[in-house]
Structure 1
Amino acid sequence: MRPIRQLLSALLGAAVLALILLGGSGPAAAHDTAESSSPAAGATLAAPPETVSVTFNKNPLGIGSHFLVNDAAGTNWADGGVQIVDNVASQKLRSGAPAGLYTVMWRVASSDAHPIEGSFTFTATAGAAGSTAAAAVPTMGTAQPGTIPAPEKAPSAEPFPWSLVIFVGTGVGILVALALMARRSLTPDGDQADG
């Protein structure tokens, strides 16, 4: 009976250790998330802003960062590269942006190097200084400078939490092993009864 108790104690200790290790690594496995945007999603502004930005819960990496700031006609008003300072990724806009609805699509590498992306919209009730209606409407068959077709992707979902699957699988395995050992210790051994 003593070896069974020692084995059960060892398995219980292993289970507690596994829970501590897997429980501690769960939150660290989560990807960074966007906390806010400027302008705020759905905001109405007097004119298009000079820059748009997204603030994250951790500092994103500059590798592969990309912003599209498209007006209702599909013209991209982003000017230059994405600037990342601490946990804020910013994109300047070209001057002369027209009034209307804008869709901002962003993609950055999170602090754990996984790409994350998202989008938000805002509306400008008037055009920026120097904008004209003709600049906002591209002509058929004529390429507009700075126009990049918007990627047609479904909104991205959070990645599947594999660490949770591993955690649950390990827990179930440990519980099955403990149940088998308890069953074996509670049932009389057939060989001893016959002897």
Structure 2
Amino acid sequence: MASIFLKSTITLLLIFSALSVATAFVLDTDGEPLFNQVNNSRYYILPQTIGIGGGLTRTTKNPELPCPYYITRDNDETSSGMPLYISSPLRILFIPLSSPVHISFEEMTTICIQESMGWRVISDDSTGRLYVSTGAGRGPGRFTIEQAESESSNNVYKIRYIGALDSEAGAGDLGFFKEDGLLGITDDIPLTVVFKKAFDVPEETTTSM
């Protein structure tokens, strides 16, 4: 009888362990799971390496052609950058690790006529590079948040582009181009980031989406 009970206990432990791995969530700097956009939750995305600038923000690539906006890091080391939404197409409360997500800045009035502040990846014909820009339109870019392999901390990640319905841009890890400081798909070491709350987590949240 004791043997049967022991086997049952081990089986349950294995099941719970597997479920824990299967539902691993992206964690913020406080060690708490990232909320899906449903709760109006916003986060700052901060480069994990000190000395390369502040949080992520938007910028123009060419002063004479202000649109679309591109993504760079704030020059001020003390700045957290601009808040962003991390949203999952799944009806879930938290953002799972390695699952498809959309990333976007808060919507705002700008001189650019575009449908959203959502991130996408576009090709630059003059340089042959693939940049991250805003203006996702009908085919928003799909990204995943992956654990940074070289980091010992569990809340340090890299962001990977996995494609969009209306884009031919290939998949790849995101990083900054040294020449212009803009975010894009690079062959260099991926940019490692952390997610910092830009909002107060509501005391009561709903799991219904």
| Structure-1-length-normalised TM-score | 0.28
Greater per-residue helix proportion:
1
| Structure-2-length-normalised TM-score | 0.27
Structure number with greater Rg is 1
